[in-house]
Structure 1
C-alpha cells in the first residue's frame, strides 16, 4: 500500500468573527475569539489521515513552548501512523483569522518557525519515502527546504504534490521552474496561479502545466476549480452549500485530493470528491474545527 507523507507547518489559529473585513487603518470590534491547531500542513495532513484510505505521516517544526505542546496534545487524537513534530528554538507560528458574517476571511500568520526548518531535516523526512509513496508539501517552508524534499522524494521514486499556498515571494522565475517542474501535481488558487504565470483561467492552468507538472488544479472558490487534462482544461463546478466560513476549504480540498490520488483515483474523480469535502468545511465556522470528520469523509471517498 502506498503511504502519504506530509511535510509542512503546524501552528495555533486564533479565529475572530467580525461584521466585515476591516479597511486599512480601521479598528473593528469582533465577537468571541477561539483557538485551535492550524497551519496548512497540519490541516491537510489531518484531513488526509481522516479519509482512512492509506497510512499518513506528518512532520512539522513547532516551538518549544506552550503553544507547541498544545498542538502536540490535540494531534494525538488524529489517525497518523507517525507524528513527527520537531521542537525548535523559534516560537510556534500563530495565525489570526478574521472571518466576516458572509464567510469570507483574511488571515495573517507568523511564519518564522516554518520558514526556518532546516534543509537537512526536510531531506531526512523525505528519505523515508519508498517508490509508489506520495509527498505532500505547501508553501510555508523555505524554498530551499521545499526543493530539497522534492528532490529527495523524486530520487526514491515517490510522487510529489505541492500546494503553492502561501505563495513564497522567491517562487518566481527560475525558482518556479526548479520547484514546480519537479512536482507531479500542483494546486494553486486563482491569485497564486495569476502571480506565478501572469495570466488567468485556463491559460494559467496550461502555463503551470508547461513547467512540468503532470496535473495542475487551480481552485476558484465558489466557482469550483480548473483541472488540466490530456490537452485540455476541465471545469468542475463547486458543490452547492451554505457558506459560513471559507477558512478550511482549501486545506480540506488538498488533503482529500492527495489521499485519493495516492490510492490511484483519477485526477477528475479525486478533485470532484475533494470539492464535496470542501463544501462540508465551509458550512461551519473555523478552520481545524470545521475540517470534515472521519465519519463524514468515509462515504465520500469510498469507491
Structure 2
C-alpha cells in the first residue's frame, strides 16, 4: 500500500448551534456550544487513517495548551503526527451551525500561515513516487506551491478554503477536489464545464463536489456525474474533509479514482447525519462497513 502524506493545518474548533445564521452586523445568541480538535488538514488525516491508510501528518501548531490537547488527541488516532512548533497561537475556527445543517466558518490561522517554504519542502520530499501528498488551502500559497514542486509523490489538492489564486498550482496536481462555489470562482464556469476548464488549466483529474446533488468527475477518459447518497443532513461541516481523506486512503490502497470517489461520497453522507466536525467523522468501524457495502 502507498503512504498518504498530509501537510495541512490543525487547530481547535469552537462550534455554536444557531437557530439561523446571522446577517451582516447582527448579533444572535447560540443555543449550544462545543469545543473539539479541527482543521481541514487534521480532519482529512484522521479520516484517511481511519480508512486504513498509513498516514504521516505534519501541521504547524503553537506552544500552548491547545497544541498539547491536539497532540494528546492525535496520539489516539491511527496516524503519525509530526507537530511543527511555531511561536504563534494554535489555529482556531468558529463554526456556526443551524438545525438544517447549514454552516458558516471563521478561522484564525496564524500558525498555518507561519509554515515556511523550507519546512514544506522537507516534508513533501519524503513521499515516494507511489505515495500521495494531500494538501488544502489553509497554508500559505508559497508553502503549498513549494510542497507540490518538491514532492516525488502524487498530489491531491483540496482547494478549500479558497484564500489565494490557485491557477498556477493546477499543473502540479494529479487530483483536484473543489466545491461548486470554488470552481466557479476559479474558472468562471459551473458543473462539467468548470471541470473541463480546470483540466485545460493543468489539473490531471478534477472532482467537483455538489453537496446533495452529487459530484462531477473529470479524468483523461472523460466526464461523469455521480449522485450523492440520500440522507437527512444534520450538519454539513466535515463532509468535504471526510471525502478527501477517505478518497486519499482508497487511492493509496490501489482503488481507481471512481471507486475512491464513491467511497468518499458514502463516508461524507455518513458525516452529515451527525453534529460537529471532528465528532462527526466516521469511525474506523463505520468506514469498514461502508467499504464492504460498496464492494457488494
TM category, shorter:
over 0.9
Structure 1 residue 219 displacement after superposition = 0.5
Q: Distance in 1 between matches of 2:130 and 2:290?
A: 24
Partner of 1:6: 6
* Equivalent of residue 117 in structure 1, options 93, 115, 135: 115
- Residue 152 (structure 1) aligned to one of 144, 150, 160: 150
2:18 touches 2:32 (CA, 8 Å); kept in 1?
Answer: no
Instruction: Tell me the distance in 2 between the aligned counterparts of 1:253 and 1:131.
Output: 23
SS at match of 2:28: coil
Count of matched residue pairs: 293
Whole-angstrom distance in 2 between the partners of 1:119 and 1:86: 13
Give the alignment of 1:1-303 within 5 angstroms: 1-52=1-52, 54-80=53-79, 82-153=80-151, 156=152, 158-169=153-164, 171-172=165-166, 176-177=167-168, 179-230=169-220, 232-302=222-292
Deviations 1:117-159 (A, max 9, x none): 0111111111211120110000001111111111111xx2x10
Cα drift, residue 76 of structure 1: 0.8
CA distance in 1, matches of 2:264, 2:112: 26
State the secondary structure of the residue aligned to 2:68.
helix
CA distance in 2, matches of 1:127, 1:4: 13
Tell me the alpha carbon deviations over residues 187-211 of structure 1, each in whole angstroms, 9 at most, x when there is no partner.
0010110111111111100011112
2:212·2:228 contact (CA, 8 Å) conserved in 1?
A: yes
The superposition leaves residues 182-238 of structure 1 with CA deviations (integer Å, 9 ceiling, x where unpaired) of: 110000010110111111111100011112222100001111111103453211111
Task: Please give the secondary structure, in 2, of the residue aligned with 1:33.
Answer: strand
Task: Give the match's secondary structure for 2:216.
Answer: strand
RMSD (Å) for aligned C-alpha atoms:
1.1
- For the 8 Å contact 2:204–2:220, the answer to whether it is kept is no
The TM-score, its normalising length taken from structure 1, stands at: 0.94
Matched-pair contact (CA < 8 Å) for 2:46–2:78: yes
CA distance in 2, matches of 1:119, 1:292: 33
Deviates more, 1:220-229 or 1:56-65: 220-229
Q: Report the alpha carbon displacement of residue 113 of structure 1 after superposing the two structures with TM.
A: 1.1
- Residues 129 and 230 of structure 1: CA distance in aligned 2, closer, same or farther (over 3 Å): closer
Contact 1:260 1:301 in 2 (8 A): no
Stretches of structure 1 that go unaligned for 5 or more consecutive residues are none
1:118, 1:30 → 2: CA distance?
37
Instruction: Check the 8 A contact 2:192/2:216 in 1, yes or no.
Output: yes
Contact 1:12–1:35 (CA<8 Å) still a contact in 2?
A: yes
Moved >4 Å (runs of 4+)? none
Give the alignment's TM-score, normalised by structure 2.
0.96
Instruction: Name the SS for the 2:232 alignment partner.
Output: coil
Measured in 2, the distance between the counterparts of 1:248 and 1:163 equals 13
* 8 Å contact from structure 2 (residues 117, 142) kept in 1: yes
